[in-house]
Amino acid sequence: MARPRTAKVISITGVRGTLDGLFDDPPTSRAAMKRRLQGLDKTALRAALMERLRSGLTSLADSSLVIDALGAIGLTNSERAMLENLALDRSAGVLSRVAASWLLTQDDLGWAERAATQRGQEAAETIADLPLYQLLVFSDGEDELALHIANLLVAAPDDLMRTMLVERLGECRRHVGMTAAATYGRCLQAPELANVHELMIDAIATEGSPVAITTLKEGRDCVTSANRRRIDAALMRLRTRAIAPTTRTTSASPGRAYVFPCRHDGALTIIAAIAHPIGTERLAYATFWADEGGFTLSDGFVLPHHRAGEAEVLRDEMLADHACPPVAMSLEDAAAVIGPILDGLADGAEDQAALVQTCDTWRHIARTPLALPALTATEAPKPAEARAFLSRPEHADWRLPVDDVAAWGGGDPPRSARKAWQASTRAYQLDFLCTMIDAMVRLYTLCGDLATARLGAALMADLETRGVESAIVQVLAPRPEVRPKAPRAAAGARGKAT
């Protein structure tokens, strides 16, 4: 008789190897998750996953992966007890506690009430905070978070409960690195929350991030007259602080940024990692394109709770698309580069949700107004100086957009390069170049290379004044093709038949 077939059970070493593979290359669906876990020893797998939870999760993606994996194989009473202890341990990582409470709630809706009754007042307060952490961590973007929080507070039975919730939200949001403007922005537009608006206005104004002004202005017409006066007073303080020349506010969280210099096509790319107190990072990416009169935002995304170090991975992946590596700088300095770009965006430039989040993320970063270097030269820059500026590695591929054949009117290009540009150059092409130089001047200023910054500023002023006659256009002007002359026939060969 043939022996019955049995499923192959992989050892604990194999379980850990498979689990490492899941975190390095996450499955794209729950079905794919189940296929990759098939054949693993469930006891060993649960133990390995619990070990990951207890040691601390480093990103929202890791948290979701652990939740899906444990949800796929199910929990035993032993794991339920460990998850409950982890959820109530205030010294544990927030992502691990949130994942534990989420798993318990999915497994048993009554666990929180039962644990609060059995474990006393301190446990009850800890359990009450867990849904708030779940909102702050798992909401898909700040717009969704603001809507959920507004609905939560409106649904509270009375103003006393709402006040308690706002106070608890304040502590929880600071713990995960969420700003007051992002948390309470939608709440200011809910008249049912009038009696707790004062707490929210004070919190938004105290943080004083650049986006706080926009948030308070949007909520001003929705609040009571008393709260409107509070908003007016807060706006006056924020605006005074913004224009004070010696004032420099501090970023809500530390971090770092990488700014890629403008490419030949006008693309300016910036990557930022904003550290959260819980050990994760908000990864923000944006690409702006030089256009007539300024930049436009073409691409961007924000990952709210990402694994530390992913900004460097993204930076290295983008090196192939740029002529030189990016400049590493602080968030404040990077915001000084990107701030004027955001301020100059045309209406409707942020119509996509991902781009709105990208802009809001940069507006949350405090920045000092950047003073451009004063021009000391009285004479217009020479072509040799423009050539020196363009010889730098970051400008090696710079050129102006030309419409090729159409630019020459369909005929042969004129012999003079200057006449060629007078015939072909459009105003938008000069604006395009001016926008690129302006961004690079800011970048050189922040890097301390004031000599190059002054030269760039002089070239930009020359370009704005003289247009196609400017030094930098003369250097960048395309040279017409010189057709080789036909060889002259030898004197002795003249008149002879071939």
Backbone angles phi, psi at 391, to 5 degrees: -80, -10
Please state, in angstroms and rounded to a whole number, the distance separating the CA atoms of residues 81 and 91.
Answer: 17
Q: SS3 for 428?
A: helix
pLDDT digits (tens, 9 = 90+) for 468-495: 788 888 887 755 444 455 555 555 554 5
pLDDT digits (tens, 9 = 90+) for 436-452: 888 888 888 888 888 89
User: Residue range 348-368: average pLDDT?
Assistant: 53
**Are 154 and 190 within 8 A, CB to CB?**
yes
Q: Which of 223-237, 276-290, 365-379, 384-398 has the lowest mean pLDDT?
A: 365-379
Q: What's the confidence (pLDDT) of residue 498? A: 43
Q: Which tokens sit at 17?
A: 């190897």
Q: SS3 for 184?
A: helix
User: Residue range 15-39: average pLDDT?
Assistant: 78
Backbone angles phi, psi at 304, to 5 degrees: -70, -40
Q: Show Cβ contacts of residue 91 under 8 Å, excluding neighbours closer than 6 positions.
A: none
Q: What's the confidence (pLDDT) of residue 360? A: 61
Using a 10 angstrom Cβ sphere, with 0-12 exposed, 13-18 middle and 19 or more buried, the burial of residue 35 is exposed
143 CB-side CA count, 13 A = 9
Examine the pLDDT at 236 and tell me if it is beyond 80: yes
DSSP string, 313-333: HHHHHHGGGSSSPPEEE-HHH
CB atoms within 10 A of CB 103: 23
CA distances from 236 to 144, 205, 229, 398, 417 (A): 29, 10, 11, 44, 55
Examine the pLDDT at 173 and tell me if it is beyond 70: yes
Buried b (16+ CB within 10 A) or exposed e, 195-215: ebbebbbebbbebbbbbbbeb
Q: What's the confidence (pLDDT) of residue 480? A: 47
Examine the pLDDT at 288 and tell me if it is beyond 80: yes
Q: What's the confidence (pLDDT) of residue 404? A: 38
* R_g over Cα of the chain: 30
User: Residue range 121-126: average pLDDT?
Assistant: 86
CA distances from 73 to 30, 42, 46 (A): 11, 7, 8
DSSP 188: G
Side chain identity, residue 39: G
Strand order in the sheet with 267-275: 294-306, 281-291, 267-275, 255-260, 327-329
Question: What's the pTM?
Answer: 0.64
pLDDT higher for 367 or 179? 179
Identify the helix (H) or strand (E) that includes residue 295. strand 294-306
**Are 464 and 434 within 8 A, CB to CB?**
yes
Task: Delimit the domains of the chain by residue range.
Answer: 12-243, 255-363, 383-476
User: Residue range 355-360: average pLDDT?
Assistant: 57
Examine the pLDDT at 193 and tell me if it is beyond 90: yes
**Are 334 and 270 within 8 A, CB to CB?**
yes
DSSP string, 360-405: HHHHTS--PPPPPPPP---SPPPHHHHHHHHTSGGGTT------HH
Find the DSSP H helices in 156-267.
159-176, 180-184, 197-207, 210-220, 225-243
CA nearest neighbour of 162 among 132, 185, 193, 200: 193
pLDDT digits (tens, 9 = 90+) for 383-416: 899 999 998 988 878 876 554 333 433 344 444 5
Q: For residues 40, 42, 47 and 49, what is the CA-based torsion angle, rounded to 10 degrees?
A: 70
CA distances from 29 to 20, 64, 255, 273 (A): 17, 12, 32, 28
**Are 360 and 446 within 8 A, CB to CB?**
no
Q: What's the confidence (pLDDT) of residue 162? A: 93
CB atoms within 10 A of CB 228: 16
Identify the helix (H) or strand (E) that includes residue 297. strand 294-306
**Are 193 and 162 within 8 A, CB to CB?**
yes
Can you tell me which residue has the tokens 């990072």? Answer: 281
Q: What's the confidence (pLDDT) of residue 488? A: 57
CA nearest neighbour of 341 among 247, 436, 409: 436
Angle at 105 between CA 101 and CA 109, to 5 degrees: 145
Q: What's the confidence (pLDDT) of residue 365? A: 57
Q: What's the confidence (pLDDT) of residue 428? A: 60
pLDDT higher for 66 or 483? 66
CA nearest neighbour of 263 among 435, 90, 121: 435
